[in-house]
Amino acid sequence: MILASQSPRRIELLREAGFDIAIQPACIDEAAHEGEAPLDLVARLASTKALTVAASAPEHELIIGADTIVILNQKILGKPQDNAQAHEMLRALSGKTHLVATAVCIAAGGRLAHVLDAFVDVCEVEFWELSDTEIDTYIASGEPMDKAGAYGIQGIGGRKLVKGIHGDFYTVVGLPIARLARVLTRLNSHT
Ligand SMILES: Cc1cn([C@H]2C[C@H](O)[C@@H](COP(=O)(O)OP(=O)(O)OP(=O)(O)O)O2)c(=O)[nH]c1=O
């Protein structure tokens, strides 16, 4: 099985769940298309990652692609480019409830690479009201930089910013592992 992702969190979650995976990140253009809905974008990116790697993978190999986005008032918050953008995102999330969507796509490799299964899992996350000092202290920790929405629920973010969640914690981290494990078990029992 190949994970088409460089995310250390996804690698760790799959390995901890007992899956033996090889890593082959897919470098793709993650920009949204004009007028594309957030859930359509996240699903497209997960399947593009999986299919890009699947095309050069061995026949019958399973490839997993995933993508995570943060959605506030129908708008997508990606990864911040710099501290100023991280501040802007965290200011917008302060005191509000947003959605985190993680799309997962499982593809079969080889010349006839194709999608075997795909789903989007959504979790609701509520933030405490944040002061500018709290935001700047959090940014100074370095945690926001490689993360959608400029926070990590698994780190300091979860201990300082998050008031509550409704849904799967691991969807926010980047991979709804329990749901994915069920799909993989079903697919493996068919092969
Ligand atoms: C909201 C949130 C996001 N994130 C992370 C999950 C994802 O790794 C990242 C979103 O970026 P993605 O583009 O989904 O993934 P990635 O760039 O890390 O890896 P790849 O493209 O190779 O698959 O944000 C957290 O780790 N914790 C959080 O609480």
ipTM: 0.94
pLDDT of residue 189: 80
55-73 mean pLDDT: 96
- How many A from CA of 10 to the centre of ligand 1? 8
Domain hosting 69: range is 2-190
DSSP assignment of 91-124 = HHHTT-EEEEEEEEEEEE-STT-EEEEEEEEEEE
pLDDT of residue 190: 66
Check which CATH number belongs to the domain holding 72 and give it.
Answer: 3.90.950.10
Domain count, the chain: 1
Pocket of ligand 1 (CB under 6 A): 5-7, 9, 25, 49, 66-68, 70, 100, 147-149, 151-154, 157, 172-174
Average pLDDT, the chain: 96
Q: Tell me: pLDDT of 5 over 90.
A: yes
Atom of ligand 1 nearest to the CA of 10: 8
* C-alpha span between 64 and 46 (Å, rounded): 8
> Is 82 assigned a catalytic role?
no
Q: Tell me: pLDDT of 112 over 80.
A: yes
Q: Tell me: pLDDT of 47 over 70.
A: yes
Q: Which of 20, 29, 40, 67 is catalytic?
A: 67
168-185 mean pLDDT: 97
pLDDT of residue 156: 98
140-151 mean pLDDT: 96
